[in-house]
Structure formats: C-alpha cells, structure tokens
Amino acid sequence: MTRVAFIGLGNMGGGMAANQAGAGHQVRAFDLSADALARATTAGCQAAASVAEAVADAEVVITMLPAGPHVRSVYGEQVFNSAPKSALLIDCSTIDVETARDVARQAGEAGFRFADAPVSGGVMAAEAGTLAFMVGCDEADFSAVEAALEPMSRATIRAGDHGAGQAAKICNNMLLGISMLGVCEAFALAEKLGLAADRFFDIANKSSGQCWSLSTYCPVPGVGPQTPADRGYEGGFATTMMLKDLKLAQGAAAQAGASTPLGAQAEALYALFAANGFGGKDFSAVIQLLRGRLSELA
C-alpha cells in the first residue's frame, strides 16, 4: 500500500484521487472545497485538514491545481516544507512551461524528485482511470513516475526533461481546439447544404477528414459514440479550460517566436463563446456559435 497525498479535488482531481484509492493505496486528500473533500472521502480517501497534513508522511505527492501561481504557492510554501525528502512529487496541473521548470528547479534544490505530468482525456477519463499523461522529468525518475500514475492512466509517455510535459500538453490542446473548430464548421456547412449529420459523419469518418474530434468526440448529438453533445454539452472539457490552454499556447508562442495563426483564431473564437456566457459548457458546444444558434444552449 503506497501512501499518496492528493492535493486538488476538482472535476479532474476528484476522479483521479478516487482511482488511486481504488487501487488500494492509502490516499490522504486535501482541497479548499469541503464538498470536494467529502466526495473524495466517499470514494475511499482520507480527508486532511491542510496540505501539510496530507503530505506529512507521503511516498507520492500528486497535485491537480488550477494555474501556475497555485502550483508555485502549494509547492513553495507547503509541500517543500512538509513532505519527506523521499517523496516523489508529481504535478498534473496544466500550467506554463517556465513555471513548471522553475518549480522543478526548486524541488531539486530542496532534495526532491519532481515531474510535470499534465493529462489528456477529460473528466470521463479521469473517472475511468484512462487518462494520457505527458511527463517531463529526469529520465532516471520516469519508471517511478509511471508506476505512481498507473491507477489513473491508459498511457504515460515521457516527453522529455522538466517542462516538456507542459509543452506537449499545450501543443496538443492547441491542435485539439483547432481541429474541433474545423469539425464544427464542417457539420454546420453540411447542415446548410442539406446533408444529414449522420451521413456526413459516416463519410468523413472513413475519409481524409477523419480525426479524434470527429470520430470520438463528435459535437453533434445522436451521431457517433456518446459525447457531451448528447448531454446538452454538460460535463466533458469546459470551454473555460480550453480557453485557458489556448491562452497558454499563445503565450508560449509569443515567448518562443513561433507563428500560430490558427491557434490565435481558435483562442479568439473560444473567448467570444465564453464571453457570451457559455464558459461552463463543453468546448464542442462552440458548434452552436458557428451555427448561429446560441439560444439553444440557454
């Protein structure tokens, strides 16, 4: 039985912590939300009163936090001061590359092993234990990181050294945001041209337009595998989270001097969609913006 501290029990972290407990590990969990902490205890975790209490005797510390400043604060002010030096530290938050590298540097100076390991797969995969992890860490630490993530993972891939996991996540989600917009535009046009959505899905899914956003996460209800579109675009990957990742991608592009015009356009469209009050809807709901049918989401 591994002693795991899990910090951050939101939409993603809650399911992830539950899978750690389900694997037979002793999970001591903490979140600022009492409701989130109560759900975690129902799933088999032990509630901690603070980060310091959660990590005090942990062998593995896993964090899933909203943004870079939270990661800096939790590690710099709490984890480094309270966890045993033998603990393996894994941050699964999606943050900027420079923050990930800086926290890794601080961890090394404090005597800890550290990995940035952002995830892909959304809430359903977090609950099912089928997330994909993109890991940035020292090569010698990867086998330990992979073993620690196994209860939550369908695939764990080392992207490179510290920060590489975040770089992979940012690039991947920029691609996802762009491809979903392309799929949504295609369905909106097909509809205007009188082509049935299910017929277009069958054709495109066997043609050169095939992609994950179409085949696995179709934005049209009643077409293909069940997706958030079949639940009124509730659950899944919130538009606010997609917008956050696209902003991170644009910030990284500006810093690196990379040209990402489609990424910039995707950010602008998702920002418009969120500004209309739909930030809580799944990101595939942007199809209603392109259709001119936002009233159907109200």
- Reply yes or no on whether 247 is catalytic: no
Give the closest residue to 97 by CA, choosing from 134, 130, 127, 131: 134
85, 169, 192, 247: the active-site residue:
169
Question: Taking a C-beta distance cutoff of 8 angstroms, is the pair 143, 165 a contact?
Answer: no
CA distance 298 to 293: 10
Question: Taking a C-beta distance cutoff of 8 angstroms, is the pair 26, 4 a contact?
Answer: yes
Where would I find the beta strands (DSSP E) of the chain?
Answer: 3-7, 26-30, 46-47, 60-63, 88-91, 113-116, 119-120, 131-136, 153-160
Within a 10 A sphere around the Cβ of 274, how many other Cβ atoms? 19
Cα–Cα distances in angstroms (integers) from residue 232 to residues 135, 185, 215, 298, in the given order: 33, 19, 19, 10
Residues that are catalytic:
169
